[in-house]
Amino acid sequence: MKNLKRQWKFIVVLIAGAVGLISQFALHSKSLFSIGNLQFPVHAIIIDIIGILMAISLLLEIFHDWKTGRYGVDILAVIAVVSTILIGDVWAEWMILVMMTGGETLEDYATGQANKELRALLDKTPRIANKLVDGKITEVKVDDLQVGDTVLIKPGQQVPVDGQIVKGTSSFDQSSLTGESVPVTKNPGDELMSGSVNGDVAVEMKVTKAAKDSEYQSIVALVKASQAQPAKFVKMADRYAIPFTVISLIIGGVAWAVSGDATRFAEVMVVASPCPLLIAAPVALVSGMSSMSAHHIIVKSGPTLEKLARAKTFAFDKTGTLTENQLIVDQVVTDDKSFDQKELQSLAASVEQQSSHVIASSLVKATDKDLIHPVTNLKETTAQGVEGDVDGKHVKVGKLSFVAPGHEKLNVTSTAVYVSVDGKFAGYITLKDKMRPESPKTIERLRRQGAEDIMMLTGDHKQVAEKVAKEAGITDVRSELLPSQKIQAIKDVPKHLRPVVITGDGVNDAPSLTAADVGIAMGAKGATAASESADAVIMVNDISKVNDAVAISKHTMKVANIDVLTAIGVVIIIELIAFTGVIPAFWGAILQEVVDMITISLGLLAKTKPSDKQFGLEEK
């Protein structure tokens, strides 16, 4: 509605100008009345009425801003309009109105161009699904799908909601969700993410999540949030509002005093219109947010860019952030000479193959498929372990108290599963976190990007945490922390080391993401509490995107600052030229429109690629 109102203002001003031209030149309008030396022909009355209405509208906005403690530069625009009305320069007045409303319209256009990557997500949102009912296809709205429904996904179609393949095998393009450049083959039993695109073969899928909870819709919700949140940084121009207004009024006042002509004051006020100053920051900011989106990073609000650009402290969760959501086998220790390491791992993995526990699945994944044998008489004891028969042997895998009572004095500090065979303790298998391959490089690059302190905050055991931190290149390690202690660690960061940025992925990270100056969620796996609490969400499974976020933020803020200062400098220079009287008010207004275009063009430079130094690719 706001954008529509701004466009209508521009249209009304253009119509008023067209009617005025026809009245003055085609109909040879005469003055309806005069006041002193001022003549008021039809075209002047039309444009003056529009000018007065626009000035009143702007004054109401200024008054509202003042009530909220915001002091902007719009007052100069009002002074410019009133000045041209008082000196009777109708067409200069009209050009100011064109400049004011046209600048707003140009800003909307530039914002739309800079925001096209974000809108592309909204435009591609799946809306219709092919529901299978008794073997027949029925088109239904995606929002009407229920968990348990069966959906047919034809070749080239988007997956409408999250689900699981029940029939068919095909490749799926997940690039818009995960950043993977190569399509992924999916078989019956595999999960599908909404928003991925089917390849050449039709498949049937069972719905596992409603539309509002599915992957693609969660991204769309984040995008909408990023568009709806007003950017605090647009007020950057207002930091210069008072001095800029004072300087402009002084230049105009001195010009009037020296020349003795009020027209000179009006000419200065015309070129002092604040449109370029007001446009500079928001265009750059939206361009930066668009660039983030193109790099698979959703930023929810403008202040996030400001804080990321100035961040001095970075904190990371361990599991699922610095490491992958997967464990790898570290050691296989046997206690019975009857079994070697290979056989012990084979027996343990065979019993664990049907368990969904992360340790069990990691063990199975780390074991050669040829070593995993069928298991019978499988039994699971909740929170203790599993047991079953493999190759004629009864195998138990799990906690030590469950597997081999009496061996509790065995001191193993790593994550481990214990194994007994036919009632006799056979050994144990330790597992460790699998470091993300990009984690050490990410930490190194953050230091090059200006990070003064990097710490790891985790609830895991001290020995495990320190081992991961050493591998990642982090020296400040805080382990065995509860969520409340993570928050306290963030609050304890001294003022000179702020802003603080924390990156995490789990539900337990949500409170600390909210407490930090900037919370970044690893949201590649869907809408978690972390994603909802974060200021920015990385939509691909790549922690190096933190480097990209910092680089884009630094680049955006650099462009925004240069743009604002350039706008101020150019406007003041033009004011000084107008001071001499060589720029009539009409041409001063046209010149201001040119400055608007330059400002918008500079703001769009925020979409260009940041430098290698900003990316942390150059040695300091």
Vertex 451: Cα angle to 450 and 456 (nearest 5): 165
| Token reading at 595 | 């400055």
Q: Are strands 184-186 and 170-173 parallel, antiparallel or unpaired?
A: antiparallel
Cα separation, 170 vs 467, in Å, equals 41
Cα separation, 583 vs 577, in Å, equals 7
SS (H, E, C) 119-182: HHHHHCCCCEEEEEECCEEEEEEHHHCCCCCEEEECCCCECCCCEEEEECCEEEECHHHHCCCC
Decide if 517 is catalytic: no
Residues 6+ apart with CB under 8 A from 583: 267, 271, 574, 577, 591
Q: Is 399 exposed, middle or buried (0-12, 13-18, 19+ CB in 10 A)?
A: middle
Cα separation, 78 vs 387, in Å, equals 82
**DSSP string of 321-337, one letter each residue:** IIEEEEEEEEEEEES-T
The catalytic position among 48, 89, 173, 317 is 317
The 3-state DSSP class for residue 318 equals: helix
Cα separation, 183 vs 459, in Å, equals 36
The 3-state DSSP class for residue 39 equals: strand
Please name every residue paired with 137 in a beta bridge, in sequence order, or none if there are none: 132
Cα separation, 390 vs 352, in Å, equals 11
**DSSP string of 388-456, one letter each residue:** EEETTEEEEEE-HHHH-TT-TT----SEEEEEEETTEEEEEEEEEEEE-TTHHHHHHHHHHTT-SEEEE
Question: If we measure between CA atoms, which residue out of 245, 247, 264, 260 comes closest to residue 580?
Answer: 264
Vertex 8: Cα angle to 5 and 12 (nearest 5): 140
Cα separation, 133 vs 541, in Å, equals 36
- Please identify every residue annotated as catalytic: 317
